[in-house]
Chain A
């Protein structure tokens, strides 16, 4: 391979990206060196096993990926704004919609939610950390490295261009030559390790590490949603792992699992992809439901309506999410019996979701509602998500789906579900728990601007796409003729897209503004309306051991009862005992770095490099296996000092 093939050349946009990447890297290196931050970065962040810091790193990466995926989206909208546009060529457009989809689902939505789960769940169940803190660091770093490997594709070697679903035979060697598709396979594979480990980690954490008195049916709804999400992750992600591995064999070693030659079954890829892909939809939407439940309950000053119904609805969704995957390819031709069965299962899965919507409405009924920004996002969610849900039921009818399939109607539908569900919840959750992470709130006035600009932009962007879809505009086309009459609606949609972009910029400005000017919180209960244990900490940002004394629980919103009974949250000095905590470790970071070397080697089919990287991974595994470090104890004196307790 020649160097001019190694780097992507010939497009001014890419050269611009090259320059900005180099400048950003130089800027970061300069900052770290000039302000002597290297040691701080290493000891505080790169080697940390603290669930709160890992959570913050997850969220920061997700916001970064939201920017990358958002820029992709805006480039597509610019190209489609006018008929016969020459802004992007077809190959470039294909690459951009592929990376947009993959990044938004795998590297934005999932880490954003997992980040919030990381920060909140151990606090919410009254635990000191997760069950396996070291494994948690491995999860984060493998996700991060997977995301980076996927992201460098657009400047080195070329991006994948077969869609985020990567259907065969399009994604095979004949139709997608070069390293692009390999980036997809290996980036997702490495990040998938992290997701699977997170699933196991939080499953054990929630089952084994709850505060005394917190039975399963006294867990907050968000904890329940996280538990169920982790169960789905543990059972669904292995399907993706296997499918990706099989396609990697096809591309790198000439196997014939999904190829047209050699008795391969190309459509089996679609089948396996969606066997994972549909549970994945619920992986990114159930934590969102959990967060909205917490937020709506807190700001309506009411206990959640139908707690048990909420939980059983989620349990049913978890089981059912494995029974609807065929609705993603009704038009594949598996016959009317199969299509009818999956039509019905798809419509049935709407019922538990509907129950949840009504429960949120009844939670607000006669509540004393505060219209804070997290609550605004939650209300926006209910309205917009219902539009997504209703169009989903339309798509669920197999016969009707033959009309909607592969049109912008579908594109608009899943954006209404994923943006109104997942993205709104990420913003709502981030704002709600922001004081828990940083000790101050995001500015409410600016936050409301973000909400309204984003919400209006979102509807202006996607309502026209429903109409375009019914008008027959297919998805994944890089241009269209003026005669089609789709120009006006597309221009409107682009305007909406840019409004969302502006909202994102205001949000980033809000991070800066609030960092400078927001009032610092003094209590653990920043909103004054907290119902669950994460608000029962003695300081706004909990100390690394979370709770000096593990709280005892007797209901699913324990803090409300404590407040009613005027329980003093400050721990008694005689209850303070030394606390066992895990040590930091740099091994996860190095393990992930070796994964990067291995992944990069395999992308370019440089097997020596792949082997070197994998040997490195095994060495880090061996180092960890023989590590006899049992952690350390936080002394009573240190705890008393942190908690400001005097004898």
Chain B
């Protein structure tokens, strides 16, 4: 069996560039998020969208640079880093489908006859009716 320490011990020799770059990029992304929040005049909604994008980018960056996502425990393992990457991407796909899909489906059209908004809907209908009456 291959020694799982191999990849780590190799990196102990020189400067761990991967980690350094990951660290610097993480700081830049964090600083950008701070700058967007405090220094720009965007609406709260826009700011939220932008800093969420930064957050997801940074999460992906950390998975790649620090969390050894693409490496496997054994050198010539059957379970390669690609399997793990594919797994995480598919998990992200399913999570997005579940959350965004549910929000979309439940929000589209259905909201109109949701009972919480029933009163306002009734009012709308009344107004429609009034308008039709006027046309006659």
* Chain B proximity of A31: nearest CB distance (Å): 46
CA distance A268 to B79 in the complex (A): 37
In the complex, the chain B residue whose C-beta lies closest to that of A323 is: B97
Q: Are B105 and A326 closer than 8 Å at their CB atoms?
A: yes
Is the C-beta of A357 less than 8 angstroms from some C-beta in chain B? no
> Knowing A260-B115, A271-B102 touch, does A322 contact B109 (C-beta < 8 A)?
no
Q: Which residues of A contact B91 (CB under 8 A)?
A: 235
A268 neighbours in B (Cβ, 8 Å): 102, 106
Contact between chains at B90 and A235 (CB < 8 Å): yes
User: From residue B124, how far is it (CB to closest CB) to chain A in Å?
Assistant: 16
Contact of A322 among B78, B97, B104, B113 (CB under 8 A): B97
Query: How many angstroms from the CA of A210 to the CA of B79 in the assembled complex?
Result: 11
Which parts of B109-129 form the interface with A (CB within 8 Å)?
A: 109-110, 112-116
Please give me the residue from chain B that is nearest to A239 by CB atom. Answer: B98
Stretch of A191-199, A330-338, A549-557 that contacts chain B:
A330-338
User: Is A231 close to B, CB under 8 A?
Assistant: yes
Q: Are A319 and B110 in contact (CB under 8 A)?
A: no
Q: CB distance A338 to B79 under 8 Å?
A: no
Given A235-B90, A263-B116, A322-B97: A208 and B79 interface contact (C-beta under 8 Å)? yes
Smallest Cβ-Cβ distance to B109: which chain A residue: A335
Q: Are B105 and A271 in contact (CB under 8 A)?
A: yes
Residues of B within 8 A of A235 (CB): 90-91, 94
Q: Which residue of B lies closest to A275 (CB)?
A: B98
A207 to B90, CA, bound (A): 17
Q: CA of A183 to CA of B94 in the docked complex: distance in angstroms?
A: 29
A267 contacts B79, C-beta separation under 8 Å: no
Q: How many residues of B contact A (CB 8 A)?
A: 22
Q: Which residues of A contact B93 (CB under 8 A)?
A: 319, 322
Number of interface residues of A (CB under 8 A): 25
A338→B83 contact, CB < 8 A: no
Does the CB pair B90–A337 fall under 8 Å?
Answer: no
Residues of A within 8 A of B112 (CB): 333
Q: A residues 183-234 with Cβ under 8 Å of B?
A: 207-208, 210, 231
Contacts of B101 in A (CB 8 A): 275, 325
CA distance in complex: A207, B86 (Å) = 13
Q: How far does the alpha carbon of A271 sit from the alpha carbon of B90 in the complex, in Å?
A: 21
A333 and B113 form a contact (CB under 8 A): yes
Residues of chain B contacted by A338 (CB below 8 angstroms): 104-105, 108-109
**Are the C-beta atoms of A231 and B90 separated by less than 8 Å?**
yes
Chain A residues within 8 Å of B, Cβ to Cβ: 207-208, 210, 231, 235, 239, 260, 263, 265, 267-268, 271-272, 275, 319, 322-323, 325-326, 332-335, 337-338
Residues on B lying within 8 angstroms of A by beta carbon are: 78-79, 83, 90-91, 93-94, 97-98, 101-102, 104-106, 108-110, 112-116
**Would you list 6 pairs from A and B whose C-beta atoms are within 8 A, ordered by A residue?**
A265-B114, A271-B102, A322-B94, A333-B110, A338-B105, A338-B109
Known: A333-B113, A335-B108. 20 other contacts (CB 8 A): A207-B78, A208-B78, A231-B90, A239-B98, A260-B115, A263-B116, A265-B106, A265-B114, A271-B102, A271-B106, A272-B102, A275-B98, A322-B93, A323-B97, A325-B101, A334-B110, A335-B109, A338-B104, A338-B108, A338-B109
